Amino acid sequence: MPDKGPDEEEEPGFRVTDRRRVGPEGVQEPTQAPESEPEKTAESPPTEQERKEEEFVLLPIPDLVRILIAELQTRALVHMGLIPNPATHLVAKDLPQARLAIDCVAALIEQLSPLAAPPEREEFQHMLANLRLSFVRQSGGSHGAA
């Protein structure tokens, strides 16, 4: 890049636009649409981000419940001290939290079962039975069944 003289100004490769809505007078409403956002036309294909958002919005509730069941099952195992916490890699018991997770799994399975196929219902029941049995073993039977 050649050196420029003191009288020559370098042209910026980008433009900075202040979009903040707070000024000395307080919060201000925007007076015009931002210039940098391209207008969407009927012909323009959706961006990757828009496709991801659309997929998330259109996720059927039964599938969302299945995801919650899987997450709560993992949390129950973590709180029973059977697997390490994925974030900290530590193993620690928190049986009240494990019990709450197991009870939530049971409630979600109860709601989802009428919509599930028989093999899936059977899988849910085995998972719940295994969680409850593990809870009793980890608690030494002192906390009762979940």
Q: What is the pLDDT of residues 93-131, one digit of tens each?
A: 999 999 999 999 999 999 999 999 999 999 999 999 999
The reply to whether 17 falls in a domain is no
**Rounded to an integer, what distance in angstroms lies between the CA atom of residue 106 and that of residue 96?**
15
Confidence class of residue 145 from pLDDT cuts 50, 70 and 90?
Answer: very low
Residue 113 placed within a domain:
yes
Classify residue 72: in a domain, yes or no.
Answer: yes
In degrees rounded to 5, what are phi and psi of residue 44?
Answer: -70, 130
Residue 74, pLDDT > 80, answer: yes
Please name which of 109, 143, 104, 146 lies closest in space to residue 124, comparing C-alpha atoms.
109
Instruction: Judge whether 145 lies within some domain.
Output: no
Residue ranges making up the domain that contains 121 = 62-138
- Residue 137: pLDDT band (50, 70, 90) is very high
Task: Look at the chain and report how many structural domains it folds into.
Answer: 1
- Other CB atoms within 10 Å distance of the CB of residue 99: 21
Does 81 reside within a domain? yes
